[in-house]
Amino acid sequence: MQAVIIVPTLLLLGTLITLLALCLLKYYGPKQKWTQITAPKPHHSSSNRPNQRHSHRHHLQGVDGEQACISLGVHLIFVIVFISTQVTKELHTQMYYSSLLCLSLSLSKAPPGINPLEHEELPMSVKQVQQIVRPTLAAVPQMSTERHHGAFNQVTALPVSFSIRPNDTVSLYRASMDNRDVILRVLKGKVSSLLGFASFVSGLGRHSSLPELLGVVSVQPPLMMVVEELQHRDLLGYLWRCRQSSCEMTEKRIFTMAGQVASALEYLHSQRCIHGNVGAHSVLVGGDLTAKLWGLGPAYRRRTQAVTPGQDMEMRKWQAPEVLSRRAVSQSSDVWSFGLLLYEMVTLGDPPFAQIVANELLQYLQRGKHLKRPPTCSNSLYSIIKACNNWRPEQRLSMSELIRTLQAGENSANGRTVLRVPEPLDIEKYLREAGYEEAYNYAVL
């Protein structure tokens, strides 16, 4: 923006200087010639020759003044054009990246749990931009992969299905890098938050069922983080599309994908990280239908902020009863949420406890109530859901037991019958039954 102001200012200044030079030439140059040059007399006496030579010298001085003014104006014009060209070139370079990445898009923030890429920080192995900026955590990235803006091709805005809250901290774009589809998360917020979250996730290490982190652009603004693109995006949206016969979900596929998510969750627990946000909204699905666990934003916030357990209204339907009672999240509470993830998968995206208001869920569970078996759910899968949703945390399945049970179920599950749900997707109904209406007090227009 500063360059946009400087260029016309320089041009205007140059025009004024040139006009001033021309005015001086007009009003002073000719006057000097008129007052100092006299008409020669018809006779050529020796007494008049010195005066004639003197007058001729004044005439030449007037001409020299005119030429000097013209030369000054021409030089000024060349100098101004050169400066303007350099500034314009710099402006063009800056605007190129801005126009490439900051498209005419203001992505909105979907409610946490609807579109995980909209509200979660994408972790990167990142290099510090400034020495004065330091992550809040002790863990720092072990590796750094620097990228530049020109490394990305076919940059397009990432579409979003629907939104409730605006997100003014990031913009998301789909791009191609090294013949690979990636997601660019362009930062609008503070650099310290980016580095802090990157350090947090880098400290967790790599796992086959966590999204692969590819690099970060931190050399010059806009700062952005790069993560692999998973073709089908979040599992919740994929399940909804399965209702429209555009994909096929079988019970065997549920066991396979659930086993992958459980493996990632067990790994996070081994790194002393409680996820606290397990659900279909926090799982990403690749083109080969592999499932990878994401949604680590709440886990990071618990490390860096004072968060009261159970205060996230939009997550209440997935929280364990002890968390609803304002106790801290734990590995057992993650297992509870995992059972509800299985419920979402077998119902192709129905919210758990759909008929219960979120504020009344704890009282409902205290009365010994539990999830009813969906018509599309087999007895073996339903038994796993119940084992995860035991009222007593110590009686729930451990992660190792859960993984073994899922592996055994995958071997015997039906891989031929495609799950079908007769009811079409109703977004407004889903938001109401999932508890988002209470969390955001929204109105669907």
Residue 45 resides in a domain: no
Residues 180 and 240 in one domain: no
Where does a domain end: 208, 228, 248? 228
pLDDT for 442:
41
> Within 13 Å of residue 400, how many CA atoms lie on the same side as its CB?
1
Residue 445 resides in a domain: no
Q: Which of 264, 238, 235 is nearest to 341 (CA)?
A: 235
Residue 200 resides in a domain: yes
Packing angle, helices 29-36 and 2-27, rounded to 10: 10
Residues 181 and 63 in one domain: no
Tokens of 339: 């059972």
Residues 292 and 145 in one domain: no
Residues 237 and 136 in one domain: no
Residues 30 and 82 in one domain: yes
Residue 26 resides in a domain: yes
Residue 47 resides in a domain: no
Please report, in angstroms and rounded to a whole number, the separation of the first and last CA atoms in the chain: 37
Q: Which domain holds residue 396?
A: 233-440
CB 271 within 8 A of CB 205: yes
Report phi then psi at 170, rounded to 5.
-145, 160
Residue 148 resides in a domain: yes
Residues 65 and 188 in one domain: no
Q: How far, in Å, CA of 257 to CA of 242, rounded?
A: 15
- Global pTM exceeds 0.95: no
Tokens of 229: 């693109």
pLDDT for 283:
96
Residues 190 and 116 in one domain: yes
Residues 218 and 246 in one domain: no
Return per-residue pLDDT of the chain as tens, 445 residues. Answer: 444 455 566 666 767 777 776 676 666 554 444 444 344 444 444 444 444 444 444 444 444 555 665 666 666 666 666 666 665 655 554 444 343 333 333 333 333 333 334 334 333 333 333 332 333 333 333 333 444 445 555 555 555 544 445 555 667 777 777 777 777 767 766 667 767 777 787 788 899 999 987 777 766 777 777 878 888 989 999 999 999 877 889 999 999 999 999 999 999 999 999 999 999 999 999 999 999 999 988 998 898 887 766 566 678 999 999 999 999 999 999 999 999 999 999 999 999 999 999 999 999 999 999 999 999 999 999 999 999 999 999 999 999 999 999 999 999 999 999 999 988 889 999 999 998 866 554 433 2
CB 172 within 8 A of CB 103: no
The CATH number assigned to the domain holding 426 equals 1.10.510.10
Residue 44 resides in a domain: no
Packing angle, helices 399-412 and 379-388, rounded to 10: 170
Q: Count how many domains the chain has.
A: 3
Residues 87 and 212 in one domain: no
Residues 221 and 249 in one domain: no
Residues 186 and 241 in one domain: no
The CATH number assigned to the domain holding 182 equals 3.30.200.20
Q: Which of 309, 382, 291 is nearest to 340 (CA)?
A: 382
Residues 216 and 331 in one domain: no
Residue 268 resides in a domain: yes
